[in-house]
Amino acid sequence: MTPTIRLLTLEDTAAYRALRLAALATDPVSFHSYPDEEGAMSEAQFAARLTEPPCEGVFGAFVDGRLLGVAGLVGSPRRKLAHKLTLVGVYVTPDARGQGLARRLAEAAIARAKSLPGITRLLLGVHGTNHAAIALYRSLGFEAYGHEPEAMIVDGQTHDEILMGMSLRP
């Protein structure tokens, strides 16, 4: 089946919440939150993530009406940082991986970032050993600009993060 990639709306809140909590449980080193931290959030708080600043949009990948992946864009309320967005929360369910959904979600986010006035830079952070994601981001034009050792501690183990960015200037 051909996936549909689109911005999530308030009607997608329950599906987004379920997918996000599954992502946190399935891939704990890929995200900065624990499942219990976000599990305590209300559906209204998840809805706000989809529609209120600093969110600049969350894309979803749907197949047969089922949400199988997401990718979000977050900005900063600070004027000195308003030219940058960060690609966040990229996740595809394990059963849907290898079908190009992460690429399509990232491409949709990049296109949206390019369409927003004044946005000239797109950033992201990726787990240091997620070689598939790093390769994907490089193929899309992101370049590594930093390495944060011990960026997270998960279950007593430290994990590094690779910082990547791309210019959106024409």
pTM metric for this prediction: 0.94
Listed by start position, the domains of the chain span 4-167
Per-residue model confidence (pLDDT) at position 170 = 77
What are the tens digits of pLDDT across the range 44-54? 999 999 988 89
Whole-angstrom Cα distance, residue 109 to residue 58? 8
Whole-angstrom Cα distance, residue 18 to residue 7? 17
What average pLDDT does the segment 85-96 reach? Answer: 97
Q: Which CATH architecture has domain 4-167?
A: 3-Layer(aba) Sandwich (3.40)
**Contact present, 162 and 126 (Cβ < 8 Å):** yes
Phi/psi at 122 (5° precision): -125, 130
Residue 116 has pLDDT above 80, yes or no: yes
Per-residue model confidence (pLDDT) at position 50 = 93
Angle at 66 between CA 60 and CA 67, to 5 degrees: 25
Per-residue model confidence (pLDDT) at position 125 = 97
Q: Where does residue 160 rank: exposed (0-12), middle (13-18), buried (19+ CB within 10 A)?
A: middle
Q: How confident is the model at residue 85 (pLDDT cuts 50, 70, 90)?
A: very high
